[in-house]
Structure 1
């Protein structure tokens, strides 16, 4: 029986939904994985990824593909095969309760393998998918350019750090931050302005506008600096948040300050920036985790560890 005559079973589709939902924690990473695998990625754009939960998005996508297996059967089999081949779940370590998330991911992938074993048992069937698999692997390897770009940005940052001319360094840092935020699709606006070694700008993350201030100076940022930045945010639209980047860090007094003026601010320092440039965490994931922690605990500064 050929693949075109043998439809993917309901049990296999359910196992695929469960595996995809558990293997990737963010909807962005999940969507990127699916688009890299399938040959007909346009169907992915028919799903409302922003409003849906991961499970809702995956269920809608798989259901639509399964109803038209005359068109999408090969893509379904590719998703089954590539998801079942996953065995490295270290990308989940940066999230809360990571051990539980990794355990669920491993269990769901193993369940997928058991439920779909019959599709790939024979050598003939494996040969039919091997050519597509090689193509998929080539696409995935293209993601290596992500690390290459990070390496370029890191080299650029180190060169800036060696510049003793503070005015030049400020302009170089402005250009660097624009490139970094563009790289992570954060839509930095052209309103980035520099005064001395202070950079002001705006960007958009998760449909929320952020005002950003960055400083590279010898002394740590104190509470007065943060109050000044908080005052700028209160003059903006209600949902505007703030990101303060101090490459030399913050005084203990400033991070323990409790005030409604600072409720909309999250903080990054030079260590955070290096974690991003070394590829240990995406800038977008860092912003998400810091924002979530600030919302839950009221802490201005949160050090992400275990990455």
Structure 2
């Protein structure tokens, strides 16, 4: 009996579909873990900040294809899970319709090649794989929704607290929020009066965090002092300034003028929409960074993203 193998003709379309269907590497990594059932193998891929999705996908598919005696079932599972991807979430990105159409075209090419591989694996196995992926995704989403709902309740209660107690409560909330989203915070955030300082790494970039909850709007001086802190770090460091009650309009304008932009601004209502489940925290950070890189504007409100 001949050994079953995946034809080389399907490997390039598989790589193209995977590279196009997910815009962010974190989303691609989560899908590959679930679709292959090989988290250790996925962890060995080069996910470094300078790596490209196509290189990562090529590395994985080449490993699976060259070791089919070991990974044949894994490769089949990846092919069949990939053709089930719905890339509709790409529409929310900048130039999203073009990205969606490109991904759909790549997926359709792969779909035209998968029938022999469906026959290699029973429909029951394929259905079980889809159920497992859907179950893991749903479980993760439910846990995230539950955690953020609890944090939302705490955030609303903070508004009636005294400043010092409110500051400590906000410190705990931010620590928990970063943990829930698997964002690497550099130790717990620390409070000084009504100001919270911390640091975290997200999408390959190091950030300093400054958070203020005071009655007054944050001023040009507040932003300038924090920007100076950030500029004293390495060049790839940015600052995220959270001002619960917002910023003076002139402070936003002046901080966004002249020199390299080193700050991203976020307000209490942004945090409210995250905790209310209207937008994911990691998506909000990505969109703020992308908008600032493209336009130079350091404040993109969550409400404007959702509009």
Give TM class, smaller chain.
0.7 to 0.9
* Alignment partner of 1:215 out of 212, 216, 231: 212
Matches within 5 A, 1:26-41: 26-41=24-39
Residue in 2 aligned with 1:77? 76
Residue in 2 aligned with 1:143? 140
Matched, 1:171 2:168: yes
Matches within 5 A, 1:1-307: 5-50=3-48, 51-87=50-86, 89-120=87-118, 125-144=122-141, 145-161=143-159, 163-190=160-187, 192-257=189-254, 258-259=256-257, 263-303=261-301, 305-307=304-306
Please give the per-residue CA displacement for 1:4-57, whole angstroms capped at 9, x wherever unaligned. Answer: 833222232222211111111111110111101213332212321223210111
Q: How many residues align?
A: 302
Please give the root-mean-square deviation of Cα atoms over the aligned residues, in Å. Answer: 2.5
Partner SS state of residue 142, structure 1: helix
* Bigger Cα displacement from structure 2, 257-266 vs 98-107: 257-266
Question: Could you tell me whether the CA contact under 8 Å between 2:200 and 2:207 is conserved in 1?
Answer: yes
Partner SS state of residue 150, structure 2: helix
The 2-side partners of 1:190 and 1:49 are apart by 23
Question: Normalising by structure 2, what TM-score?
Answer: 0.87
Structure 1 residues 245, 128: closer, same or farther in 2, change over 3 A? closer
Q: Which runs of 5+ in 1 are unaligned?
A: none
Please give the per-residue CA displacement for 1:202-243, whole angstroms capped at 9, x wherever unaligned. Answer: 222244332211112233222122122223333444443211
Please give the per-residue CA displacement for 1:58-89, whole angstroms capped at 9, x wherever unaligned. Answer: 011011101111211211221222221223x3
The 2-side partners of 1:280 and 1:5 are apart by 50
Question: Could you tell me whether the CA contact under 8 Å between 1:15 and 1:111 is conserved in 2?
Answer: yes
Please give the per-residue CA displacement for 1:167-197, whole angstroms capped at 9, x wherever unaligned. Answer: 2111100110111122223332346332332
Q: Which runs of 5+ in 2 are unaligned?
A: none
The 2-side partners of 1:183 and 1:44 are apart by 21
The 1-side partners of 2:26 and 2:260 are apart by 29
